[in-house]
């Protein structure tokens, strides 16, 4: 098994990602002057993006992590999500940005937003690297977005296929034949 097995073409190169992350970091830096900023990353896919984005934000901030498990699409618990690791810090009266790898149906994020909103942060926004809006079910307001992508399964830069391929520096389409099997 090789890391590059089962890949389709590169969809977004590491250089393109870097350029966009720099822009997003500058935008967030500008918008959050004198605030109490907390970046919340959703494990595990959002971690690579978080690591790069936080270093492009030039104001004080803290980071925190949440891990959730969702039931599969075939399950009758469609859209039901469970928190398996919660935040370490209180977010009450603080400025929170959720940092996500990709928003697909939006069901995961809808649950997280509802859950975090109940903790009464001062502000709550979403920053996602990728927006796959073709399959959106939940209406989510996305304040910061890296790229819009088509309805393709993608891997690399934190995104996995069966827990593998997160360590690829570019974002690739997955070989289509793999998804049919």
Q: Rule CB under 6 A: which residues touch ligand IMP?
A: 45, 100-109, 132, 153-155, 159-160
CB of residue 170 vs Mg ion: minimum separation in angstroms?
18
* Backbone φ and ψ of 21, nearest 5°: -65, -40
Catalytic option among 76, 104, 139, 160: 104
Residue pair 152/9 in contact (Cβ under 8 Å)? The answer is: no
How does DSSP assign 29-47, residue by residue? HHHTTTS-EEEEEEETTTH
In terms of CB distance, is 95 or 101 closer to ligand IMP? 101
Per rule CB under 5 A, is residue 45 in the interface with Mg ion? yes
**Is 131 a known active-site residue?**
no
CB of residue 23 vs ligand IMP: minimum separation in angstroms?
22
As beta bridge partners, residue 82 has: 69
Q: According to DSSP H, which parts of the chain are helical?
A: 14-31, 47-54, 107-117, 176-180
In terms of CB distance, is 41 or 124 closer to ligand IMP? 41
In terms of Cα–Cα distance, which of 41, 65, 51 is closest to 21? Answer: 51
CB of residue 98 vs ligand IMP: minimum separation in angstroms?
11
Q: How many CB atoms lie within 10 A of CB 2?
A: 6
In terms of CB distance, is 95 or 104 closer to ligand IMP? 104
Residue window 79-118: x/- pattern of binding to Mg ion, with contact defined by CB under 5 A: ----------------------x-----------------
| Residue 65 to residue 28: CA distance in whole angstroms | 19
Enzyme catalytic residues: 104
Sites of contact with Mg ion (CB under 5 A): 42, 45, 101
């Amino acid at each position: 098994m090789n890391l590059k097995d089962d890949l389709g073409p590169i969809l977004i190169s590491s250089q393109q990602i870097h350029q966009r992350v720099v822009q997003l970091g500058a935008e967030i830096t500008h918008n959050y002057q004198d605030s109490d900023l907390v970046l919340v990353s959703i494990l595990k896919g959002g971690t690579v993006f978080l690591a790069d984005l936080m270093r492009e934000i030039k104001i004080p901030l803290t980071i925190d992590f949440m891990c959730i498990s969702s039931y599969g699409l075939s399950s009758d618990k469609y859209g039901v999500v469970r928190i398996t690791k919660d935040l370490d810090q209180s977010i009450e009266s603080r400025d929170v940005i959720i940092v996500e790898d990709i928003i697909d149906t939006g069901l995961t994020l809808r649950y997280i937003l509802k859950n975090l909103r109940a903790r009464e942060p001062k502000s709550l926004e979403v920053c996602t690297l990728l927006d796959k809006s073709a399959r959106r079910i939940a209406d989510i307001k996305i304040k910061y977005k890296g790229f819009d992508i088509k309805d393709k399964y993608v891997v690399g830069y934190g995104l996995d296929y069966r827990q593998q391929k997160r360590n690829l520096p570019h974002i690739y389409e997955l070989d289509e034949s793999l998804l049919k099997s």
